[in-house]
Chain A
Amino acid sequence: MLPLTYSRPSDVRAALAAASTQDTYFIGGGTNLLDLMKAGVEKARTLVDVNHLGLDRIERASDGGVRIGAGVRNTDAANHAMIRADYPLLSQAFLAGASAQLRNMATVGGNLMQRTRCDYFVDTAYEHCNKRKPGSGCAALEGFNKLHAIIGYSDACVAVNPSDMNVALVALDAVINVEGPNGTRRIPITEFHRLPGEHPEIDTTLKHGELITSIDLPKSTATRNAHYLKLRERGSYAFALVSVAVALTMLDHRIDSARIALGGVAHKPWFAEKASASLAGKGKDAIDYAAVAALAVDDAKALSQNGYKIPLAKNAVERALRTAVEAA
């Protein structure tokens, strides 16, 4: 860890002003950043503490949706009365992640910025990681990739996004509000994270110097018929092998609209667009669960060691969808 300069601005403008150089990082909970700094992956020289910018509120939006400040802790978001009542899917996703201690620290803004847990990325001893050292290659492509992507990867990177929250945000069609030197932007969640392509070193469409200020959730229509399912190698406190978020807007016994998202399968939280679209207008009893699940993974292609993830993801979609449909 390099010697650090630390500052604690008290408003967004001051924070943005403090974040001018490349080796300046915003720090919220620090749960991912400090981990990576200790590992030598992130080489911050200046930290700007964004915990005192007044971004720690959850508010009802005028359209009936909710705005979650970027500095809200995962625990507080999960337990907020409005989130629990209107977006239980999001609460579920938060609570499936990490541990109580980490959820108490981690902010929702930081959760959006969570970096992959690929072993080759988090350990600087490996030479070949395009995400860490652009142009150096991808050790996982031919090496250990049992936990890696099955959708949307490139030869440059097969890593997956580790977040649970992100998966729920995709199912809830969230929008990310950011503020930068050139003003504010609204980024739909599906456009916030990137596929690796030729530039896996870039995780998101956030630009350097921009700060996430809040997450907007549109007015909830999928409260009851929603479900988050996480599959992992131990009972708790582990990253997902595969996770699924399903949010259904049901009118009587018919699906009005559906959004299915997957975690643990791609470089970004994966929106299963075709599977979601196939559900629109379907009567509750007319759903071909297996067919929808198959659609969700029809773009999937296994790497050398992760073939199991395709049937696992398919079965997980089927289960989560069924649970969401059948919820009373």
Chain B
Amino acid sequence: MPTRDANAGFDAQRRVFLGTVAGGAVTAGVGLPLSSMAEVRSPAVDAAPHAVPVNDVKFRVNGTEQHLRVDARTTLLDALREDLHLTGVKKGCDRGQCGACTVIVDGRRINSCLTLAVMHEGATITTVEGLASSGQPSALQSAFLEHDGFQCGYCTPGQLCSATALLDEVRRNEASALTPDIARTTRVDLSDAEIRERMSGNICRCGAYPNIVAAIRKTASET
């Protein structure tokens, strides 16, 4: 069970034990950080009087069951990045204003920066690292690559999670601000304008929007 130093100084030993249990599975397939997860960070020198409340939470990330002990303040974003080392998930604004941290939780795209890890007991979470299957990029990932749907690549994990969920939303015929006559329309016609509106929660400062739209259009037309 990976944990960070919510209470560095007295639970370091537990971290070693727990980290050893879950570490290998967690980091398989992702860029391994320089330090291994099981490694102990040095305890704080002085012990403060009050311990920070920690909570245990279990959820499934990219197909792997994870047990975490986290500072209750830890956002889902920080838990994914700092505890599970899924650094594909990106922090752009930490306030739900850019979409870089978008992940899919129980089939819905959300901003992982504006939710706490402890709130997701039992959830099924997919990050960009989980979009591929058997190491092969998904159709959307391939389309982003082909259509140059990014430049710096920093917003890309969020764009991809968002677009993946978008295609499901379209399959469910969920409405958008552009849906004409919302009371009577039952099917989504995924025009470029619809894609643009539905992807507006993911900012791309490099301005790859037309290419992102092209990639989603292509994927939508083939699936």
Please report A residues at the B interface, Cβ cutoff 8 Å: 1-6, 8, 27, 29-31, 34-35, 38, 47, 49, 51, 73, 75, 78-79, 84-86, 88, 91-92, 95-96, 98-102, 104-105, 223-224, 235-237
Contacts and interface: CB of A to CB of B under 8 A. Distances in A.
A91 B177 CA distance: 9
Contacts of B172: 79
Interface string B103-114: 000001111001
25 contacts: A2-B73, A3-B52, A3-B53, A3-B73, A27-B116, A29-B114, A30-B119, A31-B111, A34-B114, A34-B115, A35-B96, A35-B114, A49-B119, A79-B172, A84-B182, A88-B183, A91-B175, A95-B176, A96-B177, A100-B166, A100-B176, A102-B96, A102-B201, A224-B183, A236-B197
Contacts of B201: 98-102, 237
A4 B177 contact: no
B94 interface: yes
Contact of B94 (A38, A85, A223): A38
A3 B72 contact: yes
Interface in B124-182: 162, 165-166, 169, 172, 174-177, 179, 181-182
Interface in B31-51: 50
A325 B23 CA distance: 62
The 8 closest A-B pairs by CB, nearest first: A99-B201, A236-B200, A88-B183, A4-B72, A6-B72, A104-B108, A95-B177, A88-B182
Contacts of B55: 6
Contact of A8 (B121, B174, B181): B121
B92 to A, nearest CB: 12
A98 B97 CA distance: 9
- What interface size band does chain B fall in? 35 or more
Please classify the interface of chain B as helix (H, G, I), strand (E, B), loop, or mixed, using the class held by over half of its residues.
loop
Interface centre among A8, A92, A105 (most CB of B within 10 A): A105
Given A79-B175, A84-B183, 15 more contacts: A6-B72, A8-B119, A29-B114, A30-B114, A47-B72, A49-B119, A79-B172, A79-B174, A88-B181, A88-B183, A95-B177, A100-B165, A101-B110, A102-B111, A236-B196
Contact of B73 (A4, A75, A92): A4
By CB atoms of chain B within 10 A, which of A29, A31, A79, A101 has the most?
A: A101
A51 B96 contact: no
A27 B182 CA distance: 30
B71 interface: yes
A86 B197 CA distance: 24
A223 B169 CA distance: 24
A104 B179 CA distance: 18
B118 interface: yes
A1 B73 contact: yes
B99 A101 contact: yes
Interface string B185-214: 000000000001110111000000000000
B102 interface: yes
